[in-house]
């Protein structure tokens, strides 16, 4: 459930590779959002089977965690070519996608507080990310 933490590597890649890394991370934020949608669906379904057993025997949750495993690998690949201070804040886009997707799929309420909250969190992550720049 936590954001993936990867040790930063000094950027030595070409501009093209760095751009590719940015798009790869943007793609990852979509995959994370889909994984979260699956986790919410699976959590509703797992109400009858609490605990770890209810998770590992739940196909929707297993696929959700599988997507997280894929994203972890992709992010490690992306962080090889891109700068941490650029890529890390981009990861927080997943909060925005989840807010939008939950509105359409689960009919979550969408209000000004939520949009302000998500926007401010993304700004906060961006500031934290800039802070990693040496």
Partner 1 sequence: MTSTPLSSILLVLLGSFIGSIGMVFLKKASKDMHKGFLHIVNVNSAIGVTLFVISSVVYITALRNGQLSVLYPMVSLSYVWAMFWARLVFKEPLTKQKFAGLGLVLVGVFFLGLGS
Q: Which residues bind partner 1 (CB under 8 A)?
A: 1-3, 5, 7, 36-37, 39-40, 42-44, 46-47, 50-52, 54-55, 61, 65, 92, 95, 98-99, 102-103, 106-114, 116-131
Alpha-helix runs per DSSP H in the chain: 15-45, 51-56, 59-81, 84-91, 93-105, 112-130
- Between CA 113 and CA 116 the distance in angstroms is 5
Two tokens at 6? Answer: 């990867």
Complex with partner 1: residue 5 or 12, whichever CB lies closer: 5
Q: To the nearest whole angstrom, how small is the minimum distance from the Cβ of residue 5 to partner 1?
A: 6
CB of 16 to partner 1, least distance (A): 30
């Amino acid at each position: 459930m936590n954001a993936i933490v990867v040790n930063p590597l000094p950027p030595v890649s070409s501009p093209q590779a760095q751009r590719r890394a940015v798009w790869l991370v943007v793609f990852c934020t979509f995959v994370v959002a889909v994984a979260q949608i699956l986790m919410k669906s699976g959590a509703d379904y797992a109400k009858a089977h609490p605990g770890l057993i209810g998770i590992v025997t739940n196909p929707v949750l297993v696929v959700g965690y599988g997507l997280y495993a894929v994203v972890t690998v992709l992010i490690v690949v992306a962080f090889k070519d891109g700068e941490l201070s650029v890529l890390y804040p981009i990861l927080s886009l997943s909060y925005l996608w989840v807010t939008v997707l939950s509105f359409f799929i689960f009919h979550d309420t969408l209000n000004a507080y939520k949009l302000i909250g998500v926007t401010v969190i993304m700004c906060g992550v961006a500031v934290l990310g800039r802070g990693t720049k040496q």
